[in-house]
Amino acid sequence: MRVVAMPADALPRSSDPSASAPSTRPAGDTLVIHEIYRSIQGETSFAGRPCTLIRLSACNLRCSWCDTPAAFHGGLRMARAEVVSQALAFGTPLVLVTGGEPLLQAAALPLLQDLCDAGKTVLLETSGERDISGVDARVYRIVDIKPPGSGESHRNRWQNLAHLSRRDQLKFVLLDRADYEWARDVITRESLTTRAGEVLLGCVHGQLDPRELVAWTLEDGLDVRVQIQLHKYIWGADAQGV
């Protein structure tokens, strides 16, 4: 399934990034969905595993390297129960809720709980700008920390670090050497490898050579997981819904 319809109550188009968030948050029983589909998980420690992806519409950030701008606007408003039903129909043990920024929609929290109650291993990908403290404790929270090259490092919610558990994973997407050095310093200063179960370093696809990133982490002795976006190497950088 790939949802791309624009119903009357879909999110507005605007040049202002903050306007892409719902002006009136949907009630707890509906969400605005960009797409739901089955694939493999492309990143994190779960990379390569069969996974159902639920991509919610809207994002209030504009990272310089964003690869899913199609999810900024539009989408189809669906009942939460229908979202759960369609996701479970794919039959994968793993379900990822992503975006856009899923935590912009109030119904994302009960959606995550519903998926956990259904016995799924549930992942949440979030920009790190939203408060993660209300997310069901059974969820694996994949939390971005935005380096300067993203253009959004001033939006990092550092208070989220206090809510992390060893279940969670922190992700840095790096544009260049300057981003790497910034990330290295943050990892060391904030003792991130002891706060989260995984610290993930990845490259902006086509901009930073993963071989360089590996060399830097080995030289500095960082206890991190270097990752690539597996789906981009399988289907290509511009493929969507895979």
pLDDT of residue 17: 41
What is the band of 240 on the pLDDT scale with cuts at 50, 70, 90?
Answer: low
3-state helix/strand/coil string of 154-170: HHCCHHHHHHCCCCCEE
Q: At 176, is the secondary structure helix, strand, or coil?
A: coil
In the chain, the percentage of residues whose pLDDT exceeds 70 is 84
Question: Per-residue pLDDT averaged across 126-138, rounded?
Answer: 97
Instruction: Write a three-state SS string for 104-158.
Output: HCCCHHHHHHHHHHCCCEEEEEECCCCCCCCCCCCCEEEEECCCHHHCCHHHCCH
Q: Do residues 174 and 181 lie in contact, with contact meaning Cβ atoms separated by under 8 Å?
A: no
The mean-pLDDT minimum among 14-18, 108-112, 167-171 falls in 14-18
Which are the contacts of 188, defined by CB distance < 8 A and separation ≥ 6?
none
Q: Cα(181)–Cα(132) distance, rounded to whole angstroms?
A: 26
What is the rounded distance in angstroms from the CA atom of residue 95 to the CA atom of residue 138? Answer: 13
In the predicted model, is pLDDT for residue 189 greater than 70? yes
Q: Are strands 50-56 and 30-40 parallel, antiparallel or unpaired?
A: antiparallel
Look up residue 5 and give its two tokens: 């319809």
Residue appearing with tokens 């550092």: 158
What is the number of alpha carbons within 13 Å of residue 80 lying toward its C-beta?
17
The structural domains of the chain, ordered by start, are 17-235 (3.20.20.70)
Contacts of 182 (CB under 8 A, 6+ apart): 147, 148, 153
Global confidence as pTM: 0.86
Residue partners of 240: CB distance under 8 A and separation at least 6: 2, 35, 68, 70
For the chain, what is the mean pLDDT?
A: 88
Distance (Å, whole) CA 95 – CA 54? 8
Return the pLDDT at 23.
Answer: 36
How do residues 55-105 score in pLDDT, each as one tens digit? Answer: 999 999 999 999 888 899 999 999 999 999 999 999 999 999 999 999 999
Please choose, from the candidates 136, 124, 130, 194, the residue with its C-alpha nearest in 3D space to the C-alpha of residue 160. Answer: 130
